[in-house]
Amino acid sequence: MNLNLLKEKIENHIARIAVIGMGYVGFPLALTLADVGFDVVGVDVKEERVRSINKSENPIGGVEPDLQDLLDRTVQAGTFHATIDYEDIKDREIVFINVETPIDEYNKPNYTALRSALRSLGKVLLDGALVIIESTIAPGTMQKVVLPELMKSSKGTLNKNFYLGNCPERVMPGKLLKNIRTMDRVVGGADEETSHTMALLYQQFVDAELDEVDWITAELVKTVENTYRDVQIAFANEVALLCEELGADVWRVRELVNKTPFRDLHKPGAGVGGHCIPKDPWLLANSVSNKKELRLIPTARVINDAMPRHMFDMLKVGLQRAGQELSTAKILILGYAYLENSDDDRNSPTADLVEIMEDNSINYRIHDPHIDVYKGDVYQMVDGCDALVVMTAHQEYVRLDLEMVLQAMRTKVIIDGRAVFKDRVISSDLLYYTIGIGA
Ligand code: SAJ
């Protein structure tokens, strides 16, 4: 099939679509495409996840407006279903790939899931299909990994047997569906004709600008936009450490700095988690061989990764000042998710803090209102504790009755990694430390 025929099918919403990877990105994408009238098949390797999706059970946790309703609607309408069998997508004219692309312990890209999806897809790929990679990949990966894998598994040729593009996702937990429909997208086709076709496809469900580029530009835009954020957060964290040393309040400094035009000092915090920000700088840095020239990007990662340790150091100071031995202290950690009001715990800074606690044989417990294993009554869990360590700014903590919490505590130390309580009236016998305020 040539792209003209595919374009017609796209405009009439009769192009048959598959989305590989039913996670935070692929699942809402599949529902959105089905909601605008396409027939969509979702593919995932997790049989349990496929089964629950087909029973209209939403696999994505956290606060995601409208996701469940959309799932109910599309499953009932029969325009969307999930499968583990690649045979079920051999008739698909458009295939999105939204699988995980993590980094390994050496900060190198791990493309196991991506290669596996490409190998399985290639065996069943419909002649003339358009394949779009939405996973975040290091610049150069389309040329050096995706194309060779797909040519090998499909025994086909680019722009003859299949068309290939990269359109990096821009979802954010808590606003998955909204972002899919409203964020500008970069559509990187192997050639202009493919980019045009991709733009036409995204026009069917995206109400924003679609910028047509080549592969390397699409790969760079995604990794650079997240590396920008990581470097900005690292700068905020370093300013916070300065303020602590100087006895200043970084939050007041930040407020006034950001009154200056073109300044956007980010928020210092207990660490940088998630599936994007800690990973994408390494994908970017690994796209070039002479990495020794890259100093800012790796250093920003080191600064941000050191913040959980800084939380532990503040805890030690607080307990010492309170005259409470670390070895006999009882600690309650508030927040395991990497982001407020989300259940997403990927690359959670709290996991790093917990490792340090374990290494020091500290008696700790974890609370998180969005993660089943850590759910509980904070007012009960804090009973007899010596310190609270706030790692995530969940709404539940913002609304916490601090006086009640303090009454239940044995020693009254709060280490606040997200400045959740900094503007609250704090009783006199409390030792309160927050990121970026000298104590
Ligand atoms: N964080 C800080 N200080 C800040 C901002 C964030 O410490 O000023 C921490 C957060 O607590 C979290 C981590 O960084 O642990 C990441 O937070 P995030 O707000 O960047 O959330 P993510 O990981 O969901 O990032 C996504 C990214 N979106 C995509 O990759 C499509 C990112 O580009 C967005 O800027 C971000 O959402 C967003 O703005 O919500």
Write the DSSP assignment of 20-79 as a string of letters: E--STTHHHHHHHHHHTT-EEEEE-S-HHHHHHHHTT-----S--TTHHHHHHHHHHHTS
pLDDT band (50, 70, 90) for residue 291: low
Type of residue numbered 208:
A
Decide if pLDDT at 35 tops 70.
yes
Mean pLDDT for 15-30 is 97
Least confident window among 115-129, 159-173, 425-439: 425-439
CB-CB neighbours of 128 under 10 Å: 16
Tokens 């250093």, residue? 299
Under a CB-based contact definition with an 8 Å cutoff, are residues 370 and 341 in contact? yes
pLDDT tens sequence across 108-142: 999 999 999 999 999 999 999 999 999 999 999 99
By the 10 Å C-beta count (0-12 exposed, 13-18 middle, 19+ buried), 215 is classed as buried
CB of 335 shorter than 6 A to ligand 1? no
Instruction: Please pick, among 276, 279, 330, 412, the residue that the annotation labels catalytic.
Output: 276
- What is the pTM for the complete model shown? 0.92
Q: What pLDDT is recorded for position 429?
A: 85
By the 10 Å C-beta count (0-12 exposed, 13-18 middle, 19+ buried), 160 is classed as exposed
CB of 170 shorter than 6 A to ligand 1? yes
pLDDT band (50, 70, 90) for residue 321: very high
Decide if pLDDT at 174 tops 90.
no
By the 10 Å C-beta count (0-12 exposed, 13-18 middle, 19+ buried), 374 is classed as buried
pLDDT tens sequence across 355-386: 999 999 999 999 999 999 999 999 999 999 99
Under a CB-based contact definition with an 8 Å cutoff, are residues 167 and 198 in contact? yes
Q: What pLDDT is recorded for position 275?
A: 86
CB of 167 shorter than 6 A to ligand 1? no
pLDDT band (50, 70, 90) for residue 398: very high
Least confident window among 287-291, 343-347, 386-390, 410-414: 287-291
276 is catalytic: yes
Alpha-carbon distance of 229 to 74, in angstroms, equals 35
Decide if pLDDT at 61 tops 90.
no
Q: Indicate the top mutation candidate among 171, 183, 272, 368 to test ligand 1's pocket, ranked by most ligand atoms within 8 A of CB.
A: 272
**Cα of 297 to ligand 1 centre, how many Å?**
16
Under a CB-based contact definition with an 8 Å cutoff, are residues 126 and 90 in contact? yes
Decide if pLDDT at 428 tops 80.
no
Decide if pLDDT at 65 tops 90.
no
Alpha-carbon distance of 75 to 111, in angstroms, equals 31
Mean pLDDT for 7-22 is 98
Decide if pLDDT at 425 tops 80.
no
Q: What pLDDT is recorded for position 60?
A: 85
Alpha-carbon distance of 50 to 433, in angstroms, equals 45
Type of residue numbered 153:
S
Task: Report helix angle 47-54 to 67-77, nearest 10.
Answer: 80
pLDDT band (50, 70, 90) for residue 3: very high
Decide if pLDDT at 1 tops 70.
no
Average pLDDT for the chain? 95
- Terminal CA-CA length for the chain: 68
Q: What pLDDT is recorded for position 427?
A: 73
CB-CB neighbours of 155 under 10 Å: 11
pLDDT tens sequence across 406-419: 999 999 999 999 99
222 is catalytic: yes
CB of 272 shorter than 6 A to ligand 1? yes
Q: Which residue has the higher pLDDT, 312 or 77?
A: 312
**E-only strand ranges, 62-179:** 80-83, 94-97, 129-133, 162-166
What would you measure as the largest C-alpha separation in the chain, in angstroms? 76
Helix (H) or strand (E) holding 380: helix 378-381
